[in-house]
């Protein structure tokens, strides 16, 4: 087989309003509002901005009956304004809200970890969706598995797959195929493993539901874009994915150009490529193929490394094949590709999608981005971001920050900027900045410290998964976070010219 060719995994077609995903349709891009779903005007205006940016599927949180009912007003105004954007309701704890939302929107997303089904609520929702032509998304989140799943499988990709398959089997038993499935995590290695294992499990049972891709809580700026591109790119390179969302802690319309860049980057790839060696994708079985423990960037000494440069239109597959065919199986490898893109963002996103998966899978030991249009310091920073996003070398503070939604009760964009200004000089730390408690404590499970919205103007601080101080005024929270980091010996003073107190 020619491993340098590319093929998307076959899936059934799912109609979401005027948008169809799966089958022969191109990969669709989407986003989510961060307005209060009770605020009709603000929500409609934001959906329209997302649509104009190219996002034809938009999700809104519906955490309660009031928000569920107001979806009717939002959809009515959106249509009156001449927009046919596909609308999606995001449901967590209250099954009755899913039934309300399904009267008005084009798709309903439920989280199996938070969605009760003791009395057949899910089966009833399927029948309601069938009658009205509404699609469903089974959206599993790494940090919010049901207790009975967590107790047996732990917080693992395998547990995520068990959670999804339970609900997918109910859909199949009911002969309902208008289903999309996602397996999101802020940890790219967990996210990629979960999706690959899910595809393997679905294929074993003859299921071909479309896949929604995303790295949740990716953060903002160039780092958020790189982290998303590493995870999403690894799966698109395997031919997995029918719709994607790039989750950024920014205005949601900013997510769309990044998502479209990724889609277009892979859409132009020629031929076929099949998933290789799925057994190696479990994070618990992860291992590097060489003795190198600290992967390198191109400006560091490369003595003893084999430099492999991609030259085809499918660089990930080309380099993977070259590495797997080396005469010396554990020879250290640096992967290289040249980029002529006009912006640093484009270079970073495409290099992360092309080269990041090889680092994520433990196949490569270094990265070399050849981008003559940018200075060495800029490219080194991007290379380090890719290594960190692939979770093979940590060189700066990592922020696990949610993109926010209607449940967020504080200005998370400004707060993240403030926290970065005070802590970005710290090394080997992960700080979670989360809008609310729905997914916050679970999705930031990898974080050393957490800053989580507890209510209007109130914050709860975590060390790991442990609550340290609960429900404090937001104006005190950043200083208290810094104190907490200091008390635990993780603080270092900022170098001259850097922020910090």
Model confidence over 86-99: pLDDT tens digits?
A: 999 999 778 889 99
On whether the CB atoms of residues 240 and 199 are closer than 8 A, the answer is yes
Give the lowest-confidence range in 59-73, 269-283, 288-302.
269-283
Fold of the domain spanning 398-487: Sulfite Reductase Hemoprotein; domain 1 (3.30.413)
Cβ-count burial 322-341 (b if 16+ within 10 Å, e if not): bbeeeeeeeebbbbbbebeb
134-183 confidence digits (pLDDT tens): 999 999 888 777 778 878 887 788 999 999 999 999 999 999 999 999 99
- Kindly indicate the confidence band of residue 114, based on its pLDDT and cuts at 50, 70 and 90: confident
Segment holding 369, helix H or strand E:
strand 366-370
How many Cα atoms sit within 13 Å of 432 on the Cβ side? 34
| 316 token code pair | 């990930």
- As a whole number of angstroms, the longest Cα–Cα distance in the chain is 65
Strand order of the β-sheet with 458-463 is 398-401, 430-434, 449-455, 458-463, 466-473
CATH 3.30.413.10 domain position(s) in the chain: 398-487
Mean pLDDT of 318-345: 92
Q: Where are the beta strands (DSSP E) in 298-351?
A: 306-309, 333-338
- Residue 426 pLDDT class (50, 70, 90 cuts): confident
Q: What value does the mean pLDDT take over residues 247-271?
A: 88
Does residue 421 contact residue 499 with C-beta atoms inside 8 Å? yes
Angle at which helix 157-173 crosses helix 121-132, to 10 degrees, equals 60
Q: Residue 340: which of 310, 364, 372 has the closest Cα?
A: 372
Q: Which residues pair with 191 in a beta bridge?
A: none
Q: What is the structure's pLDDT at 137?
A: 97
**Strand, helix or coil for residue 45:** helix
Yes or no: is domain 14-267 CATH 3.20.20.20? Answer: yes
Q: For position 438, what pLDDT does the model report?
A: 60
Question: What tens digit of pLDDT does each residue of 30-44 get?
Answer: 999 999 999 999 999
Phi, psi of 218 (to 5 degrees): -75, -20
3-state helix/strand/coil string of 254-299: HHHHHHHHHHHHHHCCCCCCCCCCHHHHCHHHCCCCCCCCCCEECC
User: What is the structure's pLDDT at 467?
Assistant: 86
pLDDT of residue 271: 52
CA 219/CA 423 separation, integer angstroms: 15
Residue intervals of the chain classified under CATH 3.20.20.20 are: 14-267
Separation between Cα atoms, residue 256 and residue 240, nearest integer Å: 19
Q: DSSP string covering 151-213, please? A: HHH-SSHHHHHHHHHHHHHHHHHTT---EEEEEEBSSHHHHHHHHHHHHHHHHHTT----BEE
Q: Which two tokens stand for residue 249?
A: 């802690």
Look-up of token digits 């109910």? 170
β partners of residue 32: 59
Q: Taking all residues of the chain, what is their mean pLDDT, rounded to a whole number?
A: 87
Provide the pLDDT for residue 272. 44
Residue 241 has pLDDT above 90, yes or no: yes
């Amino acid at each position: 087989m020619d491993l340098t060719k590319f093929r998307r995994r076959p899936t059934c077609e799912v109609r979401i309003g005027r948008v169809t995903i799966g089958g022969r349709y191109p990969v669709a891009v989407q986003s989510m509002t961060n307005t209060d779903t009770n605020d009709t005007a603000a929500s409609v205006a934001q959906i329209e901005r997302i649509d104009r940016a190219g996002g034809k599927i938009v999700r809104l949180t519906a955490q309660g009956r009031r928000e569920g009912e107001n979806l009717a007003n939002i959809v009515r105004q959106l249509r009156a304004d001449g927009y046919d954007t596909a609308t999606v309701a995001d449901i967590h704890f209250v099954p009755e809200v899913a039934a309300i939302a399904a009267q008005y929107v084009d798709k309903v997303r439920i989280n199996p970890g938070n969605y009760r089904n003791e009395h057949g609520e899910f089966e009833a929702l399927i029948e309601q969706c069938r009658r009205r032509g509404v699609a469903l998304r089974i959206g599993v989140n790494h940090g919010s598995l049901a207790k009975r799943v967590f107790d047996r499988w732990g917080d693992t990709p395998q547990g995520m797959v068990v959670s999804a398959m339970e609900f997918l089997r109910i859909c199949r038993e009911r002969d309902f195929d208008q289903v999309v499935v996602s397996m999101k995590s802020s940890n790219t290695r967990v996210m990629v493993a979960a999706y690959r294992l899910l595809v393997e499990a679905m294929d074993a049972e003859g299921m071909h539901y479309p896949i929604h891709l995303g790295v949740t809580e990716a953060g903002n700026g160039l780092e958020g874009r790189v982290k998303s591109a590493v995870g999403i790119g690894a799966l698109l390179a395997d031919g997995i994915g029918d719709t994607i969302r790039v989750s950024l802690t920014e205005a949601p319309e900013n997510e769309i150009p990044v998502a479209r860049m990724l889609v277009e980057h892979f859409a132009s790839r020629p031929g076929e490529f099949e998933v290789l060696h799925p057994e190696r994708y479990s994070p618990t079985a992860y291992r590097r193929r060489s003795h190198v423990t600290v992967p390198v960037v191109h400006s560091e000494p490369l003595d003893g490394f084999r430099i492999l440069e991609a030259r085809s239109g499918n660089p990930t597959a080309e380099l993977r094949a070259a590495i797997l065919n080396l005469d010396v199986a554990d020879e250290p490898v640096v992967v290289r590709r040249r980029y002529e893109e006009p912006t640093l963002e484009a270079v970073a996103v495409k290099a992360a999608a092309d080269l990041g998966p090889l680092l994520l899978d433990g196949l490569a030991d270094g990265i070399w981005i050849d981008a003559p249009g940018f200075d060495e310091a800029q490219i080194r920073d991007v290379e380090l971001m890719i290594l960190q996003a692939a979770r093979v070398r940590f060189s700066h503070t990592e922020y696990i920050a949610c993109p926010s939604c209607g449940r967020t009760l504080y200005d998370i964009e400004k707060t993240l900027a403030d926290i970065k200004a005070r802590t970005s000089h710290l090394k080997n730390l992960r700080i979670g900045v989360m809008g609310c408690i729905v997914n916050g404590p679970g999705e930031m499970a990898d974080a050393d410290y957490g800053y989580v919205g507890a209510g209007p103007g109130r914050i709860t601080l975590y060390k790991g998964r442990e609550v340290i101080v609960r429900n404090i005024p937001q104006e005190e929270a950043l200083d208290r976070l810094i104190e907490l980091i200091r008390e635990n010996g993780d603080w270092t003073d900022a170098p001259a010219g850097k922020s910090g107190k």
